[in-house]
Amino acid sequence: MYKVWIDAGHGGKDPGAVANGIQEKDIALKVSLGIKERLEEGYKDVQVLLSRSTDVFLELKDRTSKANAAGADILVSVHCNAGGGKGGFESFRYTSASQNSIKLQDALHRSIMAKLGGIDRGQKAQNLHMVREPKMPAVLTENLFVDMIADADRLNQASVINAIIDGHVQGIATYLGLIMKKKEDKPVTEQDVNVPSKWAEKTWKEVSEKGFFDGSRPGVSVTREELGAVVSRLLKYVERTG
């Protein structure tokens, strides 16, 4: 059983980068919860442990100490970026990283870029606590820029959050050599259509409160007619708010 430690950056009193109505801590948590859900549901012999599963503050040393004590096989710290020119995605390993950390970074970076697309800012090395202190291979990902309008618009799209989650999942699975569960291996539990997925809870609440959706049945598919109604509501909302 592989142990994967996912660290959602910032949290609680520390929002991380803030711009364009986005707080880094919220994106990091949403992505981290999604990674746990999809890795454990989709692959055999893997357990995902989280630094935080709610909006709480943790010191950096507490995050890495817990990961080390748990005997995690790898650590991935999830973040968003700010203040970097044209925006895009980049990843970090320690300046004196092990070969396994380099391999993990390569697998993650390639998979995330394949899913996410856009500007590739490259695989980098830096003396960051979250990649220096873990006893296991460790990588930190910077998933788009909250202070770049184009990137912020993307981070508000469920499809982009899905791409970031899927890129992390695929990269981790590739590095560890995880085996996908067959259909018969997966528990026969269908999503309750009346309850949003953990990673989508905040977004669903926001779009429901703004009147784009009526708040019911978040787990069902959308028809083209229903999508047309949502677009109509969105256009009216834009007209009202200027």
Structural domains of the chain sorted by starting position, each given as residue range(s) with its CATH number in brackets: 2-176 (3.40.630.40), 190-241 (no CATH)
With H, G, I as helix, E, B as strand and everything else as coil, classify residue 100.
helix
Q: Which of 92-106, 155-169, 210-224 comes out lowest in average pLDDT? A: 210-224
What torsion, rounded to 10 degrees, do the Cα atoms 134, 108, 161, 52 define?
-10
Q: How far apart are CA 69 and CA 93, in angstroms?
A: 21
80-88 mean pLDDT: 93
In this structure, are residues 173 and 8 in contact, taking their beta carbons and an 8 Å threshold?
no
Active site residue 142: yes
Catalytic residue among 24, 59, 90, 142: 142
Tokens of 140: 């930190």
C-alpha dist (Å) from residue 138 to 100, 108, 126, 146, 221: 9, 11, 12, 24, 37
C-alpha dist (Å) from residue 96 to 92, 172, 215, 222: 12, 21, 50, 49
16-42 mean pLDDT: 98
Enclosing H/E stretch for 47: strand 46-50
Confidence (pLDDT) at 185: 63
Number of other residues whose CB lies within 10 A of the CB of residue 45: 10
Residue 184's pLDDT band, with cuts at 50, 70 and 90, is low
In this structure, are residues 105 and 162 in contact, taking their beta carbons and an 8 Å threshold?
no
Tokens of 206: 């926001």
Spatial CB neighbours of 76, under 8 Å, sequence gap ≥ 6: 4, 5, 6, 7, 35, 104, 108, 138, 139, 140, 141, 168, 172
Residue 199 has pLDDT above 80, yes or no: no
Largest interatomic CA distance in the chain: 55
Residue 223's pLDDT band, with cuts at 50, 70 and 90, is confident
In this structure, are residues 142 and 90 in contact, taking their beta carbons and an 8 Å threshold?
yes
Confidence (pLDDT) at 37: 98
Round the average pLDDT of the chain to a whole number and report it: 91
Q: How far apart are CA 69 and CA 169, in angstroms?
A: 23
167-191 mean pLDDT: 84
